[in-house]
Amino acid sequence: MNRRLALIATAGLAALVVACATSPTGRKQLRLVSDAEMDEMGVTAFQQMKTKTPPTKDARTNAYVTCVANAITREVPGGRQWEVQVFDDKQVNAFALPGGKIGVYTGLLKVATSQDQLAAVIGHEVSHVLAGHSASRVSNQMASQLGVNILSAASGVDASMIGMGANLLLVLPFSRGDETEADVLGEELMARAGFDPRQSVALWQNMAKASGGNAPPQFMSTHPANETRINDLNAHLSKAMPLYEQARSQGKTPRCS
């Protein structure tokens, strides 16, 4: 049995080494699933979301969000058509999925109070897709589960305890890295679309106020602390502002609000 576990572990390790990839900023990623598989997952998840959460019936809100999203996705290489859905829900949230899907909750519009701030959110979420973060997260979960099963069988330790440790030590740090990367890539993406990247900072200042200081400690969260995000975005403005100025000189002046 121990030899069998060792062979499984060796084979698993070999597969993980072969499946290494690099993100747009040079971070190492694990990729165990193809882009086509991720697209299929994204489309399926989006369809499920649409059956569970009602869309907004406000035509003006739909037009506004779609206008901002379209301006962002026009800057994405490949010319893919992205589907945009505004969900009638109080959550302060949005997401983008592989397969070209974007969802925005109406609750977000109470915190992202301008088209530029909404562009910061959508740019961030689309950047997750462009950087392959969804594939990396699925792959990390697969790899973690493989390790959990092997360790549990070999040691007799309860799998849920190993899983909790793997979540804290592996999944969460990678997730925070993904969030930080999506912040800076999203800041550049919104700038290329003609939205003011300085408003990404204002957005997270609004988010901090909206949270009322109830965010979990950074080491227990999949997201960086608001203060960390604000500092990182401010530091990255030196790269984003020239992209914004170039976009404006090219006539990219979104008027969605």
Provide mean pLDDT across the span 10-39. 60
Given this model, what pLDDT does residue 7 score? Answer: 44
Q: Are 245 and 235 in contact (CB under 8 A)?
A: no
d(CA 178, CA 172): 10
Q: Strands (DSSP E) along 31-176, which ranges? A: 83-87, 94-97, 101-105
Residue 30: CB partners within 8 Å, gap ≥ 6?
16, 19, 20, 21, 136, 139, 140, 143
pTM of the entire structure? Answer: 0.78
| β partners of residue 21 | 29
Q: Please enumerate in sequence order all residues whose Cβ is within 8 A of that of 102, keeping only pairs 6 or more positions apart, or say none.
A: 69, 73, 82, 83, 84, 85, 94, 95, 96, 122, 125, 126
Range name among 35-44, 48-57, 68-77, 119-128 with the lowest pLDDT average: 35-44
**pLDDT tops 80 at residue 43:** yes
Helices 35-52 and 133-155 sit at what angle, rounded to 10 degrees? 100
- What torsion do the CA atoms of 182, 76, 237, 250 make, to the nearest 10 degrees? -170
Q: Is 30 left (phi over 0), alpha (psi -120 to 50) or beta?
A: beta
Write the pLDDT tens digit of every residue in 179-216. 889 999 999 999 999 999 999 999 999 988 887 766 55
pLDDT tens, residue by residue, 73-128:
999 988 889 999 999 999 999 989 889 999 999 999 999 999 999 999 999 999 98
Per the model's pLDDT, the better-predicted residue between 13 and 27 turns out to be 27
Cα 210 from Cα 243, distance rounded (Å):
30
139 to each of 32, 163, 169, 185, how far by Cα in Å? 5, 15, 15, 22
Please list the active-site residues: 125
